[in-house]
Amino acid sequence: MWLDVNPSSGVPLYVQIVDQIREAVARGVLSPGERLPSVRDLAHQLTINPNTAARAYQELEKKGVVVTRQGRGTFVCKDYQPRRRESLWEGIDALIGQLVVQALWAQVTESELVERVKMKYREVKSDE
């Protein structure tokens, strides 16, 4: 399975799942209309509590990434559109803030951090 959670990362497991599914949709790993594993199957595959998997799916549904059809399953929304560019910056700024704090804690210089971000951006972009 392409989803991978890390219980010791400090990031709640349901947030890790939400982020990874959103990334998979953005990269085209998951296609519009594609069915996701059931809550029970996802929990079993990731060895997590089913409530954690359910919470991740609920968050994804709130964000308009997935839709749950009673008795049929959870699917990537066919008409999913990432949020408007302006509102995306809110989430990106929060992530950048976390990144900068971790970099400062690890005594990474600004230039090292910027170069690493550029490198990662190119790496992810080339995977598309």
The predicted model gives 52-66 an average pLDDT of 94
Residue 44 pLDDT = 95
Structural tokens at position 25: 């949709």
| 30 closest CA partner among 11, 43, 41, 17 | 17
Highest mean pLDDT among 6-10, 20-24, 62-66, 73-77: 73-77
Residue 83 pLDDT = 56
**Please, are residues 78 and 84 in contact by the beta-carbon 8 Å criterion?**
no
Digit-coded pLDDT (tens) for 82-100: 555 555 677 788 889 999 9
User: What is this structure's pTM?
Assistant: 0.66
CA 111, distance to chain mean position in Å, is 27
**Please, are residues 36 and 42 in contact by the beta-carbon 8 Å criterion?**
yes
- Which one of 1.20.140.10, 3.90.1150.10, 3.40.50.300, 1.10.10.10 gives the CATH number of domain 13-76? 1.10.10.10
